[in-house]
Amino acid sequence: MLEIIGSTLTLLMSQIPINVDIIKHMDWMKNFASNHTVRTKNAAKLFMKLWLNTYMRCKSSLSVCEDLINNLQAALGSLADEESEETPALKIVNELTVDTFIECVTNTIKLLLDNIDWMINRIRSEYEVLTYAGGSGLERKKIKLADKERSVCCQLCVLISLMEELCNVKVSIGLSKSVIENILSLYISLNLLTKYFILRSSKVNPAFEKARFEEVVKLTARKLYPAWSKFILFIEQNQMVEIENVQTKKKNSSVLKNKVLKETRSIPKVVHEMERFTKSIIQLSNKTNCNLARYIGPGITRDFRIKHLRDEMQKNKSLDTTTQSDDNISEHLSTIHEDEETGEESASSEEESPPRKKSKA
């Protein structure tokens, strides 16, 4: 019943023109999320779906998704090394609704990535038409095409930052699949856009520079990839714990184990798309003589486990060194203490023993 009501309300909200009334309605929904809670998951899903759809229709930013992800980090825990900036607390985000809101956020990001794929295919078709078209108005069409390229890159920058924050959320095994599939869709879009700029650019005209594509590559390599690496290591550790717990249960252990393993089945596909993206960036760099590959680096897609192991070894080594130094200090102090006690005993024995009489010559 709630699904029918939600679909009806979403359809009605999409028909309302963007004016002062709908802005007031959106502000009311934000106030409700900040100061109230809901009792059921279905009600939370309905509310969040209406709020996200209304906000994306009226605003060009994704600040609602950012606030929601930051509140999810506060509720579930964060994998980030640095603490994020303080965001408005949403009372609607609690232990009952976190799973529902993660699903809503991932579905929204998937829709945005599908729109970006459509836009990339559209600008590629327009570019192919321009290469064979002539006549008047050609320069004006090229300017419009460059504006669309810049718009796609700006939207990708926002989504990359959003996915970085989402990868820092300590999601459970059952919800990691949707996050991994979003990462897969994002890298597919990045590969599609890189292939387009390989076709579009040359040494004389590196078209990606005006479109801010370099910023997309930089954010992907320096922000998204480290967050993705930590997320995968966190999921694999939870997966090992879950499999050990499943093996202790005799009833339906194989079914539960397969269900756990199914959650991370898309990880090899993500690694494959990351490698394709790296090769495409190197190809674009070679074609234009612009060193975009400096952001990627060699072997960036497969070294996160090695890096994690190296970090753990360094931590253990530092702990061993600290422990060894503490042991040496304690041994040195005990030796000094023993020497002091020995000195005190010898001094006391000398004081207690009477002086010897001199023998007569």
CA distance 166 to 227: 9
Residue with tokens 């295919």: 121
Q: Is 303 part of any domain? A: yes
Q: Is 243 part of any domain? A: yes
Q: Is 344 part of any domain? A: no
Question: Does the pLDDT value for residue 353 go beyond 90?
Answer: no
Q: Which pLDDT tens digit goes with each residue over 47-85?
A: 888 888 877 777 767 888 888 898 888 888 888 877 666
Work out the average pLDDT over 171-180. 84
Q: Is 334 part of any domain? A: no
Our measurement of the distance from residue 141's CA atom to the centroid of its chain's CA atoms, rounded to an integer in Å, reads 37
Question: Does the pLDDT value for residue 123 go beyond 90?
Answer: yes
CA distance 251 to 56: 46
pTM listed for this prediction: 0.77
Of 311 and 136, more confident: 136
When the pLDDT of each residue in the chain is averaged and rounded to a whole number, the result is: 77
Q: Is 140 part of any domain? A: yes
Q: Which pLDDT tens digit goes with each residue over 290-334?
A: 888 888 865 444 554 545 445 555 655 555 555 555 555 456 555
Would you state the pLDDT for residue 165? 92
323 phi, psi to nearest 5 deg: -65, -40
Longest alpha-carbon distance in the chain: 137
Q: Is 9 part of any domain? A: no
CA distance 295 to 220: 9
Q: Residue 226: which domain range?
A: 97-313
CA proximity to 69, closest of 156, 159, 168, 183? 168
Q: Is 268 part of any domain? A: yes
Q: What is the CA radius of gyration of the chain?
A: 31
**Counted domains in the chain:** 1
Contact indicator for 201, 143 with CB cutoff of 8 Å: no
The Cα-based distances of 217 to 88, 159, 214, 270, 291 in angstroms read: 30, 13, 5, 17, 11
Report residue 149 as tokens.
């390229």
Our measurement of the distance from residue 217's CA atom to the centroid of its chain's CA atoms, rounded to an integer in Å, reads 15
348 phi, psi to nearest 5 deg: -70, -35
Q: Which pLDDT tens digit goes with each residue over 225-262?
A: 999 989 988 888 877 776 666 666 655 556 656 666 66
* Residues forming beta bridges with residue 169, ordered by sequence position: 78
